[in-house]
Amino acid sequence: MRVAATHPADCGTPMGSPPWLDTDKLKMAQSLFRRHFLGVFISNLVGLLCLLAVHSVLKVLVFTRRSSVRAAAFRRYLSTMNHVRKWYTEDVFDPDSSAFRSIQQVRKMHSNAFRSAESAQVSTASQTDMMVTQWAFFGVLLTRGHRLGVRCSREEEEGLVHFWKSIGHLLGIEDRTEIYPWILGDLQLVARATAMPPTHTEAALCAGGVASLRQGYYSTAA
């Protein structure tokens, strides 16, 4: 992670199929989504809320002002869920699919936001920020999915991780700095963590993120 923090958010990889791509695992993740789409979306929203406690990510969110009022925040996160829905239901590696075009659009939006934030000396986004952000889309599902009615087999967990590793590749996350091998190397640790009761830390993380975002808006407006 320390190395990733020194690398730019987009490593510049072309949008094509990586040599390690396993289409069977992609389909397994998509099948999981079809069975548990509500639980998946709720876990995504919880993960995105937790991101508000990550200061480097929060600064860019505040700077873009795309979540500055309730209506704007609603549109932003509804748009995010629509993008995710396309990725789970179509072939993201097919250049003719709306999922592929969606990935292109999201990558371009990221690049524009990061470039503007850096030019304004607000924040310099890194590979670490990208990996932490991506964790929001599958980390909650892996560690707390059972509380949302989503129970995965080990194969489905591996499929889910592989799916998001593939999405990360298309969004410019370096393969060698991925957090995914760490997860797959110790899924038993994740399993033990999911058996633990929720802690006050989880609630504090979300509450702290909201408070930080509110403070950021006020200081920006001033």
| pLDDT tens sequence across 161-220 | 899 999 999 999 887 654 555 455 445 544 454 444 444 444 444 444 444 434 443 333
Q: What is the mean pLDDT of residues 4-22?
A: 85
Are 129 and 156 in contact by the 8 Å Cβ rule? The answer is: no
How many Cα neighbours within 13 Å face the side chain of 41? 15
Give residue-wise pLDDT tens across range 72-87. Answer: 888 888 999 999 999 9
Going by C-alpha positions, the residue among 190, 98, 81 that lies closest to residue 137 is 81
Question: Tokens in use for 185?
Answer: 């190397």
In this predicted structure, what is the pLDDT of residue 1?
53
List alpha helices for the chain, DSSP H: 23-35, 37-50, 55-64, 70-89, 98-119, 127-144, 154-170, 180-185, 187-194, 200-221
Q: What is the mean pLDDT of residues 139-145?
A: 85
For residue 2, name the pLDDT band (cuts at 50, 70, 90). low
In this predicted structure, what is the pLDDT of residue 44?
93
